[in-house]
């Protein structure tokens, strides 16, 4: 179970025009317009009979010219048609990618170094 997604950094939106602009500059959107996440592997195939419904997977993230690998803990569930929904959560740091967090007003307003990323992957089982 591998695959990749490409996200256009220019589409990131903080719901505040100035912060969105600063985030895009921080992530070097003009030089590196895409964020790539590659799902490398899973510790095991999701088991519909497993009550704990947790597995671990490895992802590689390409952001602002830096590549990092992370282990992600997933919760999962099966739908009525036996498709799989993986729900993951990982706290990353801007500094992991050699990036200073966005700031405004000469540094008086500053975002945290940490960024909590949550995602849901809906996977269709191919027969």
User: Quick one: pLDDT band at residue 79, thresholds 50, 70, 90?
Assistant: confident
Number of domains within the chain = 1
- Give the domain extent around 106: 3-123
27, containing H or E segment: none
- The CATH number for 13's domain is 2.40.128.110
Over residues 111-121, mean pLDDT:
83
pLDDT at residue 2 tops 80: no
Count of beta carbons in the 10 Å neighbourhood of residue 24: 19
Residue 52: both structure tokens together: 């704990």
For residues 105 and 2, give the distance between their C-alpha atoms in angstroms, rounded to a whole number. 43
pTM for the full predicted model: 0.81
Over residues 20-44, mean pLDDT:
90
């Amino acid at each position: 179970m591998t695959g990749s997604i490409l996200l256009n950094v220019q589409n990131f939106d903080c719901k505040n025009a100035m912060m969105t602009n600063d985030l895009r500059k921080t992530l070097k959107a003009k030089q590196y317009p895409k964020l790539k996440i590659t799902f490398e592997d899973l510790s095991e195939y999701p088991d519909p009979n497993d009550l704990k419904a947790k597995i671990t997977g490895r992802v590689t993230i390409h952001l602002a010219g830096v590549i990092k690998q992370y282990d992600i803990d997933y919760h999962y569930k099966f739908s009525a048609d036996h498709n799989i929904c993986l729900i993951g959560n990982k706290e990353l740091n801007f500094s992991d990618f050699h990036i200073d967090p966005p700031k405004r007003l000469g540094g008086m307003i500053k975002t945290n170094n940490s960024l909590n990323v949550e995602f849901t992957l809906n996977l269709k089982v191919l027969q």
